[in-house]
């Protein structure tokens, strides 16, 4: 038997939305690689859940029977270390408590995986205000909240030690943002915002030794069952190309010391494939012949340019949806 240390040994991690699906697979993978994990998923009052954010109960806020506690128990049964947290990451104080729990339980936080999310799909002309607000709140604000308190923790540690610390953030974006998914204006906007947040965070925290990257995963989960309803189920004993287990190893890698040079990147991952997305490029540039552009001058340079481009081509990249292994 090898005596080599596990890649994430002595590291602690928080995974949000980890009670089921993609987050669960990610939490299990981080634990398998040696990390102590705080499994976050919103509690279910009346179904055995206790909301840690509301302060009922004590310690970890865990309660047997909730998805978060079930995953934590699964990790512990396999010999790992895990506690559950049932707070809402979109609530500022609950997010503070989540990061604080990792520090209280494990002495520090090393890895933050933001995964929690919801879907409220509808075309932009029929979307309600609540459908917009709820998706932006859970996805974008939820990512910000946890990032804000993790960043504060790492900055304080770096200042105290006088040098860089170990910190990894992995955020969850989506191909819906890249492709401009027509029926998901709220989701695409939130996921695009998460990429912007990730790039800003990567720049701000690099000097402290912290990296921040975003992934666009494709996985068959409870949240996406309607999205992937048209995709064929795998044959018996075959590996599902949409299984969350295809995504989890990338999370483990980005959380590890091996990924120290990976920062401010966007990666698409599913079905045994990882694609590193290129940064936006300047397609064309025009300078005014005078001091300030006029309407007529813009019409003169831009109208022919766009007339010469393929019809329907936009900043969106729908071809990303055709990426496959092989």
Catalytic residues: 174, 187, 191
Burial status of residue 28 (CB atoms within 10 A of its CB: 0-12, 13-18, 19 or more) = buried
Sequential DSSP letters for 131-143 = HHHHHIIIIIIHH
For residues 307 and 15, give the distance between their C-alpha atoms in angstroms, rounded to a whole number: 47
Rounded to an integer, what distance in angstroms lies between the CA atom of residue 48 and that of residue 42? 12
Q: How many other C-beta atoms are found inside a 10 Å radius of the C-beta of residue 5?
A: 9
Residue 197, H or E segment: helix 185-205
Q: Which residues pair with 113 in a beta bridge?
A: 15, 170
3-state secondary structure of 253: helix
Strand 273-276 to strand 36-40: parallel, antiparallel, or no bridges (unpaired)?
unpaired
Measured over the CA atoms of residue 20, residue 320, residue 136 and residue 172, the dihedral's sign is positive
């Amino acid at each position: 038997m090898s005596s080599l240390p596990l890649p994430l040994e002595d590291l602690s991690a928080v995974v949000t939305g980890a009670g089921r699906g993609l987050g669960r697979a990610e939490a299990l993978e981080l634990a398998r690689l040696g990390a102590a994990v705080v499994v976050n998923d919103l509690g279910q009052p009346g179904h055995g859940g206790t909301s840690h954010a509301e302060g009922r109960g004590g310690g970890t806020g865990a309660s047997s029977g909730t998805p978060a506690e079930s995953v934590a128990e699964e990790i512990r049964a396999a010999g790992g270390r895990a506690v559950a947290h049932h707070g809402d990451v979109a609530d500022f104080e609950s997010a503070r408590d989540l990061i604080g729990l990792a520090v209280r339980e494990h002495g520090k936080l090393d890895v933050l995986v933001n995964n929690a999310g919801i879907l409220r799909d509808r075309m932009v002309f029929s979307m309600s205000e609540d459908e917009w607000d709820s998706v932006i709140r859970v996805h974008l604000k939820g990512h910000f909240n946890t990032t804000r308190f993790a960043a504060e923790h790492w900055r304080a540690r770096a200042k105290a030690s006088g040098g860089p610390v170990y910190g990894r953030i992995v955020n969850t974006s989506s191909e819906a943002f890249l492709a401009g998914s027509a029926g998901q204006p709220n989701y695409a906007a939130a996921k695009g915002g998460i990429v912007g947040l990730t790039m800003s965070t990567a720049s701000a925290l690099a000097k402290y030794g912290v990296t921040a990257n975003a992934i666009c995963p494709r996985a068959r989960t409870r949240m996406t069952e309607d999205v992937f309803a048209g995709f064929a189920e795998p044959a018996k004993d075959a590996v599902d190309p949409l299984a969350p287990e295809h995504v989890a190893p990338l999370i483990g890698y980005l959380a590890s010391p091996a990924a120290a040079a990976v920062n401010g990147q966007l990666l698409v991952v599913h079905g045994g494939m990882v694609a590193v997305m290129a940064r936006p490029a300047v397609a064309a540039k025009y300078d005014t012949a005078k001091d300030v552009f006029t309407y007529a001058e813009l019409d003169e340079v831009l109208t022919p340019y766009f007339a010469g481009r393929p019809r329907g081509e936009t900043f969106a990249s729908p071809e990303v949806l055709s990426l496959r292994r092989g």
